[in-house]
Amino acid sequence: MALSPRRRMLLGFAAANLTIAAVAIALLLLRPAPPPHIQGVLLEQPRALPDFELVDQWGERFDNSDLRGEWHLLSYGFTTCPDICPTTLSQLTSVAERLPADQKRELRFVFYSVDHRRDTPAQLASYLAFFDREFIGLTHREGNDDRHLPFERGLGMTYTLSPDPAASDGPPFPDYQVAHGVTLYLINPAGELQAIFKPDNPSSTQPGFDPDTVLRDYLAIRNHLG
């Protein structure tokens, strides 16, 4: 039976609407998921780190290649820090304990010392043993041609030594003070900076990190990136 012009027009409108709806659904499905809201900054375009050379707590060379293949969560400070550093490391120990079993070997924890004069590899090894023997400790040796600086600058670390031991012509000042920022850096398996985690109370005299928040944000980033 032949369709009337009106019926053909209605069928045409229906087909067009179905096509538009199908295209809209496809676009929604293909649209990338929005980035997760984290307590810090997620870099959708991760930042490559310039070439650097450090030494770990066992006296072994540590460079860019050692960051590849696994995720790393890094804090920084110094081993004689009386409050913030041990608190942060204790909180990271709690994060490590809360990790799902299938991800415990996919995330490594790193502590970088900004006080290499006092924090020798042996000192780092002894210090980190109080928290978790699996943690990686990093420092650098005197006279390394500043090959540690690209690492610090690439991550955006902030710290001061006062008075500056390097400014002395004689022996280093034995009583210089160290002040540093409080930040966690998440490095992806390509060795790139992927996210920066901020403390819960940055304006406090002793800012810290809630282990549940850190773990939630890390897992959200992993899920977002696939």
Residue 224 is assigned to a ligand binding site:
no
Distance, in Å, from the CA atom of 149 to the CA atom of 155, rounded to the nearest integer, reads 10
Q: Is 85 annotated as a binding-site member? A: yes
Cα–Cα distance measured from residue 214 to residue 94, given in angstroms and rounded to the nearest whole number: 10
Sign of torsion over alpha carbons 136, 139, 144, 146: positive
Query: Are residues 95 and 75 in contact, defined by beta-carbon separation less than 8 angstroms?
Result: no
* Cα end-to-end span (Å), the chain: 54
Check the annotation: does 140 bind a ligand: no
Annotated binding site for Cu cation: 81, 85, 180
User: Binding site, residues?
Assistant: 81, 85, 180
